[in-house]
Structure 1
């Protein structure tokens, strides 16, 4: 994080005291040099797993950031890939790293809670974004994903097994969340970024209630925990029914803006 390419402590302090959108606008030029970016090992393992389920025609990277997930989509989608994010700074960096030899790429600035698309996608992926949504917002977010998928389309995202209570990783995540909650209690606008708020049981229930059929695919590249369970799973939720909860605002389908 504090390498010559990454943000300095002062820059991070300014970013975290801003809104989520403004904070990521500021962080965008150096985001790929921080621990917040999904590691390439997770992206590669996800692409391998999705190849076994595809190929797909059109894909959407939800909360795409600087576009790392777009590289995954480019490996498994034949026609087009689209990235959506509400940070103009992150989208600017993402456009610059578009692969010219891949499927047609488009970038759209929008709030994931009100996606401006019709049912245009066979695959939606997301990497590390759920911590920016409060638990009560997730049903509405999943309804938006359900709405933009074609029947039979899939929503896929990796999930790392939670660290054991008492471990160093557990303490670090707990400490980070406590700091963020104190910050949001005394400072406005809020910066929603909670790493421990997501619980798989609640997430799975929200997906099922929204009209998804949920499957778990272990990512063997990351091995197993001492109890034999996978360290990392790919959650694959298939659109099977009309959503029953959390309908978000209506949206008009738009054509993704070409990259460049």
Structure 2
């Protein structure tokens, strides 16, 4: 899987190894300057498709990007929110890059940056929209209910929590074996090395996630992101999960 990080401006193999042997927080501090040149950054096609779907649900006043990284999702919030947008992440390095790459734009919502753990969000119920892109693999399944409860607590009544979820790789396919190999390597690494680096691709399953959101108190709907295509069986390649805090 390290071979996916092959852009010339991206991290070297040695830098990736050092990151992988660090904690999640310190690893991303190290990776931050080159993160946008890796395959782990959310693709522009996904961001554009999600933004289009959110326009149909908004407009919103205040938006929150949970685990914002270098700020890719803040661009989506800027297009659908009218007042302020906030990015929260526990990596100081990622926030520094996000701040530098997201200048204020006249007439657009002001961006705020907050260093905090998503499992303990330092906000009251002030947001109309929360989004997250590509961060859920950093949370163990047992941590997700607490994470979802935190997001629920910072949304106003009627507020929405939206994130894309990609259809799972077909068993036996090349992506299936690649993801299985990556997750197996991470579990072995975490069994032998401390601190842990939690990053698993196969633990965020739609049926389980939907049930956990409902138990948290959300009303959940799924929207196909048609711009990203459909699989041979007609199912969407990617869906937008829209979890609403009831009024």
1:112 corresponds in structure 2 to 118
User: Matched residues in 2 for 1:135 and 1:119: separation?
Assistant: 25
Q: Confirm or deny: 8 A CA contact 2:88 2:116 kept in the other structure.
A: yes
Select 2:218's aligned residue among 206, 212, 221.
Answer: 212
1:233-258 C-alpha deviation (Å, 9 max, x unpaired): 100000017xxxxxxxxxxxxxxxxx
Shift of 1:228: 1.0
2:187 corresponds in structure 1 to 181
Shift of 1:44: 0.4
2:97 corresponds in structure 1 to 93
1:20-71 C-alpha deviation (Å, 9 max, x unpaired): 0000000000000000000000000000000000000000000000000000
1:254 corresponds in structure 2 to none
User: Matched residues in 2 for 1:142 and 1:220: separation?
Assistant: 26
Select 2:232's aligned residue among 226, 229, 232.
Answer: 226
1:250 corresponds in structure 2 to none
Number of aligned residue pairs: give it: 241
Select 1:127's aligned residue among 116, 126, 133.
Answer: 133
1:255 corresponds in structure 2 to none
1:60 corresponds in structure 2 to 64
Residue 42 in structure 1 maps to residue 31 in structure 2 = no
Shift of 1:199: 1.2
1:203 corresponds in structure 2 to 209
User: Matched residues in 2 for 1:83 and 1:131: separation?
Assistant: 18
SS in structure 1 opposite 2:143? helix
Residue 160 in structure 1 maps to residue 144 in structure 2 = no
Residue 21 in structure 1 maps to residue 52 in structure 2 = no
SS in structure 2 opposite 1:215? strand
Aligned alpha-carbon RMSD (Å): 0.8
User: Matched residues in 1 for 2:37 and 2:205: separation?
Assistant: 28
Shift of 1:4: 2.5
User: Matched residues in 1 for 2:37 and 2:144: separation?
Assistant: 28
SS in structure 2 opposite 1:176? helix
1:122-178 C-alpha deviation (Å, 9 max, x unpaired): 000000010000000000000000000000000000011001000000010000000
